[in-house]
Chain A
Amino acid sequence: NAGVTQTPKFRVLKTGQSMTLLCAQDMNHEYMYWYRQDPGMGLRLIHYSVGEGTTAKGEVPDGYNVSRLKKQNFLLGLESAAPSQTSVYFCASSYSIDGGLSTYNSPLHFGNGTRLTVT
């Protein structure tokens, strides 16, 4: 089991270039997430998906787009990179736990991260 796999691990872009970060999970999890982590800011949710074909905005969605065409894959796109998007990006997945009266998110499983520098 690979778990959650992110590619690439590192990337340097020039301002205005575009790229796609790939995330794949082999655990059949319903939920997938893209976070960015910056010093002093903690983990901030960019976009997330609660199932194949669905996506939703998180806290900091501007400048990013996502797609979830297949359950196992969640793609994060930067159409026109800006220096403010220099960050470490983490993909994660989770599943729903039936707690009887309500449901809960399982703990998140994270990928290894992508270090992106925009110059």
Chain B
Amino acid sequence: RKEVEQDPGPFNVPEGATVAFNCTYSNSASQSFFWYRQDCRKEPKLLMSVYSSGNEDGRFTAQLNRASQYISLLIRDSKLSDSATYLCVVNRNAGNNRKLIWGLGTSLAVNP
């Protein structure tokens, strides 16, 4: 089992739809969490950091559930420009260092 798992999709949704992705992590020592967005043939870009209390940025809401060890990303009123791959990233201590564990990503296609 991978340490960070995501449903690869693709999620195909119409414009205006609400879509949600989950990401599960297996190491309870994980400390911080992020969602990145990656467009085709481009570099990953930070979408949101995920805080324990949950956080919202416009149409995007991220939540963390430590008890069940997952984070979620909710996109409301989907736009065509939201089409991308969404990467879940978990940061945890590994000995004296901190380690970033990347999910393989969830592909979203928003259709007209």
Contact = CB atoms under 8 A, between A and B. Distances in A.
A102 B93 CA distance: 10
Interface residues of A, number: 20
A85 to B, nearest CB: 19
A107 B46 contact: yes
B70 interface: no
A42 B31 contact: no
Contacts of A103: 98
Contacts of B31: 102, 104
Interface string B36-51: 1000011111100100
B44 A43 contact: yes
A107 B98 contact: no
Interface of A: 40-43, 45, 50, 56, 88, 90, 102-105, 107-113
